[in-house]
Amino acid sequence: MPEPVSFEGSPVDVREDIVAAHSLFWRRLAQAGTWWSGAQRVAIAAEVRAARACRLCGERKAALSPHAVSGEHDCSEEGRAALPDVAIDAVHRVTTDASRLGKTWLEKTLAGGISDAQYIELVDVVVAVTSIDFVCRGLGAALHPLPEPVPGEPSRVRPASARMEEAWLPMIPSGGARGSEADLWRGRTGNVIRAMSLVPEAVRDLKSLSAAHYLAVEQVTDPGVGRTLTRPQIELLAARVASLNQCFY
Amino acid sequence: MLLRVSSEMQGEEADLSAIIDSAAAQKSGVAHGASLIAFADAVVDGDDESLERARAALLAAVGPEALVDAAGVVGNFQRMVRIADSTGIPLDGPVNLFTADLREDLALNAFGSAENTPQPSAPLRALARCLAPLAGYAFRIVGRLYRG
């Protein structure tokens, strides 16, 4: 089967594991997920790209408070056809102004008609597409064309062990990845791995893409592990990107 | 924290101000740090022309395989920051403790998402300062517990 992605335009050859991880996610993107259909997942991806050129998002980003500016988002056709307004707004805000999101905003979003698990799957698609698109941009390659949605029903799997702890949404406890979630992590793990565990497939996406783009989760806590870039070079890039995004984490 | 610990393991000392101040990139203490930071800045916020220049400079400095690594890392952290900020997770306890002074020095507590992490108490921060020379070892021990 041909890979659904290419890196046309890149001046350098791209590692096979990156091609494989992008291809795997792109195939999964087209299919029904845990709470959204394939058409809705592809629509979320289309909205991620629309958000980068959205006038309202630009005005909000420039405003002292994101709550001071109202209006309508510049949407994709796919988004307008397949997503509720509250989901479109969430996609745009996570894409363009995530550092100023807050718990009160999230509570209003959930009250607006999407569930906590739908929100997590939406975040999973937003962050995966963001990550993949920025790798392409960094390499000077064209963005991968969005896939055609595949018909199918969401699995609607919610882990029984997920519970409210320190984050805004339920997570699987650090030592609690068992049963059908036993592959998510062994023993204990950090909050950033658990953050999307209300939708276990989102953690699987995170692990797959992180292993190709950065390091396998198991390698992260060994500061001696690097790639062609040394580990200090990798961490300098990571910290700079976090700072540019005004991310405390 | 990983930048500091991994630099120390290589016998280097990273100037962490380069993280928040691109003017300090030249003295980051990390090999090709200025080219790496210019590339990250251009990918995240730059126009196509500045990105083309930064990409070509980094390619000349580190070669094609490392350029691919760099693009991967930038893409990866464009994701990780959004996961943290959109779910409200706090820093994990040991990281919160051992990086409290560093976050203050770099003014990272001014970022909105800092509200999601409670600041460690003064006695705990004092203890963390005493244990700072052991941070690298502690990180690896915690890493064995947190196996991902």
A164-216 residue pLDDT tens: 998 999 999 998 899 999 999 988 899 999 999 999 999 999 999 999 999 99
Task: Summarize pLDDT for B36-64 with one digit per residue, the tens.
Answer: 999 999 999 999 999 999 999 999 999 99
pTM: 0.93
CB A116, CB A89: distance < 8 Å: no
Share above pLDDT 90 across residues of chain A, in percent, rounded to a whole number: 89
Give the confidence band of B147 by pLDDT, cuts at 50, 70, 90: low
Across the A:B interface, residue pairs with CB atoms under 8 Å apart total 307
Which among A11, A99, A244 is the nearest to B40, CB-wise? A244
CB contact under 8 A, B89 and A191: yes
- What local confidence, expressed as pLDDT, does residue B6 receive? 79
Tell me which chain A residues have a C-beta less than 8 angstroms from the C-beta of B40.
237, 240-241, 244
Residues 6+ apart with CB under 8 A from B58: B32, B35, B36, B38, B39, B66, B67, B70
pLDDT at B16 over 90: no
What residue type is A91 in one-letter code? V
CB atoms B75 and A133 under 8 Å? yes
Burial B55-70 (b: 16+ CB within 10 A, else e): bebbbeebeeebbbbb
- All residues of chain B having their beta carbon less than 8 Å from the beta carbon of residue A196 are 83, 87
Beta strands in chain A (DSSP E): none
Beta-carbon separation of B76 and A235 below 8 A: no
Q: Which of B104, B109, B139 is nearest to A247 (CA)?
A: B109
pLDDT of residue A211: 98
User: What does DSSP assign to residue A34?
Assistant: S
Of B39, B73, B92, which is closest to A238 when you measure between CB atoms? B73
Amino acid B18: pLDDT: 82
Q: Does B28 contact A at CB distance below 8 Å?
A: yes
Whether B17 contacts chain A with CB within 8 A: no
Q: How far apart are CA A91 and CA A113, in angstroms?
A: 14
Lowest-confidence region among A94-108, A132-146, B132-146? B132-146
Contacts of A223 in chain B (CB under 8 A): 2, 5-6, 9, 136, 139-140
Please say if the pLDDT value at position A241 is more than 70: yes
Residue A1 binned pLDDT confidence (cut-offs 50, 70, 90) = low
Q: A60: pLDDT confidence band, cut at 50, 70 and 90?
A: very high
Name the residue with higher pLDDT: A68 or B104: A68
Is B90 touching A (CB cutoff 8 A)? yes
Say if residues A141 and A5 touch (Cβ distance below 8 Å). no
Task: Provide φ and ψ at A171, rounded to 5°.
Answer: -135, 160
Q: Could you say which residues from 52 to 81 on chain B have a Cβ atom under 8 Å away from some Cβ of chain A? A: 52, 55, 59, 62-81
| Distance of alpha carbon B123 from the chain centroid | 26
Asked if the model's pLDDT at residue A51 lies above 70, the reply is yes
Residue in the structure block whose two tokens are 């393991």: B9
